[in-house]
Structure 1
Amino acid sequence: MSISSFLYLPPRAAVTAALLALGGLLSGCAQMGETLGPAFVDPAKYDLYDCKQLETERAAQAARAAELQGLMAKAETGAGGAVVAEVAYRNDYVSARAQQKLADETWRRNKCHETIVAAPAPIVPPAPPAPARGARSPAR
């Protein structure tokens, strides 16, 4: 019996082993990505934004992060989904979270407050005009 017979893996087992190794490597990158996110965002990006612009940007970044998180969760339900989620969505998710954090920090630094939107007044249809005096009521 030779050494090469011990090293031989059936093709299916080799693919499975490679996917598991790749998943392990990518999960390590994902844990590292949360701390490296701020390194990929311009720290002065929101410096010239006023409170109204920051409010809009914060909402947009929160929606984007939630969307990407949903896509990652959906991808993880399929076969090999963890790998797909990491490869396809993780970088965008980390970037969106870093931008959201930076916008939140700028929001606090500028002492901004949420805009209170007043509820619109209900639309009340006008009352029908009252009949004139001496006018006959319609025949029934």
Structure 2
Amino acid sequence: MPASILNCLRACSALAALVAAGFALSGCAGMSDTVSPAFADPGKYELYDCKQLETERKTLASRTVALQKLMDKAETGAGGAVVSELAYRNDYIAARGQAHFAEEAWRRNKCRETPPDATPSVSTPQRPVIKPAPKIQ
């Protein structure tokens, strides 16, 4: 066999293996809803008050969105499904699990969102008035 055919066969088999791995790992994506609490500590939020839980919920929500965007971006490239699974999936599942337990603690404590007008307003600092120094005669 000519060398060019062997190189083509090697490249095709590597690509086929990569695609197969992507399909195998993408099957895990559907399990994330049921598995996510397994990657988080269920007692982490037991002693949090409502204010702490509110901050934590917002942080976890933004983290989950950021990881989802990274996974979506990774999947657009060559071998992206594999990269997405290997690089971001575990963090995504852990964040979802933490969000689940934070949400449970939120409901258990009967917390409510802080209304936007209830937050203390921060006044804009005023510039000090600088008077010119008196002239010495």
- Shared fold (TM-score greater than 0.5)? yes
TM-score category of the 2 structures, normalised to the smaller one = 0.7 to 0.9
Match for residue 104 of structure 2? 105
2:20 alignment counterpart: 21
- The farther-off stretch of 74-83 and 85-94 is 74-83
- How is 1:86-101 mapped onto 2 (pairs within 5 angstroms)? 86-101=85-100
C-alpha displacement at 1:122, in angstroms? Answer: 8.4
**1:44 maps to what in 2?**
43
How far residue 39 of structure 1 moved from its aligned partner, in angstroms, is 1.3
What is the Cα-based RMSD across aligned positions, in Å? 2.0
Aligned partner of 2:34 in structure 1 is 35
Aligned letter for 1:25?
A
Residue 33 of structure 1: how far off its partner (Å) = 3.3
SS at match of 1:47: coil
Larger radius of gyration, structure 1 or 2?
A: 1
Q: Percent identity?
A: 58
Provide the residue aligned with 2:113 in structure 1.
Answer: 114
Structure 1 CA distance for aligned equivalents of residues 36 and 58 of structure 2: 19
Q: What are the ranges of 5 or more consecutive residues in structure 2 without an aligned counterpart? A: 1-7, 127-137
Distance 1:15 1:47, change over 3 A: same
Structure 1 gap ranges (5+): 1-8, 126-140
Cα offset, 1:47, TM superposition: 0.5
Q: 1:82 matched to which residue of 2?
A: 81
Where 2:116 maps in the other structure, the secondary structure is coil
Q: Deviations over 1:64-117 (max 9, x none)?
A: 000000111111111111111111101100110111111111101110011123
User: How many residues in Structure 1 have an aligned counterpart in Structure 2?
Assistant: 116
How many Å separate the matches in 2 of 1:31 and 1:81?
Answer: 17
- Whether the 8 Å CA contact 2:45–2:53 is kept in 1: the answer is yes
Partner in structure 2 of residue 60 of structure 1: 59
Quick one: distance in 2 between partners of 1:44 and 1:80?
38
Q: TM-score, normalised by structure 2?
A: 0.77
Question: Which is worse superposed, 74-83 or 32-41?
Answer: 32-41
In proportion to residue count, which structure has more helix? 2
